[in-house]
Structure formats: C-alpha cells, structure tokens
Amino acid sequence: MIFALFLSFQFVEAAPLANDTKGNDKKETKLTEEEQAKVDEMKARLDEIMAMDFANMSRDEKKEIKAELKEMKATAREGGKGIYLSVGAIIIIILLLILIL
C-alpha cells in the first residue's frame, strides 16, 4: 500500500507541464517602488559580498557576513508568504489520516 502511494505521488510529480498556447495566465505580483528599491539594494549588497575575498577576512568578519546573508534570506522568504509542503510531508500527513480514521 505504501509502495503504491509512493508511486502515485511520483507519477503526479513527474507529469509534464502543459504549455498554454493562449498566453500566460499566471498572476504576476507587482512590487511597489519601495519594495523594488529594497530588492535592488539587496541584490547590490549580495553582489558586493560575492565579490569579497573571504581568505583575507577574520573569523568575526565572516560571521557578520554570514548573519547578514541569513537575514537577507529570511527577508526574501517573507515575500512569498506561502506554505510549502514536500512530497514526503504530504505522504506522512496522509498516512496519519489513514491511521486516525
């Protein structure tokens, strides 16, 4: 049963995406000027960090940059504001529901 459930999720996940010939019906979210400025600022800072030479930095400087990158990543993830479930999590939820019911 578990094997069949696993295969069904694999087939669902492996299904090819249908091409939309009429056009792209996806909803695009527009950023405000303030949000776009913040995104541009974050991109510029990320480019600066990527251009740095980490070999000549002290341990404390590396920690500060790492903390800054984690903060930037958290800020970027806040923009999505969605719940993401992996296939494994969905399988576990379904199995728990089967056991409970």
The total number of residues written for the chain in this structure: 101
* DSSP secondary structure letters along 36-90: HHHHHHHHHHHHHHHHS-GGGS-HHHHHHHHHHHHHHHHHHHHTT------HHHH
Q: Please tell me which residue, 4 or 50, carries the higher pLDDT value.
A: 50
- pLDDT tens, 35-83? 888 888 989 988 998 888 888 889 999 999 999 999 888 887 776 666 6
CA distances from 34 to 14, 31, 39, 40, 71 (A): 39, 8, 9, 10, 19
Domain extents in the chain: 29-80
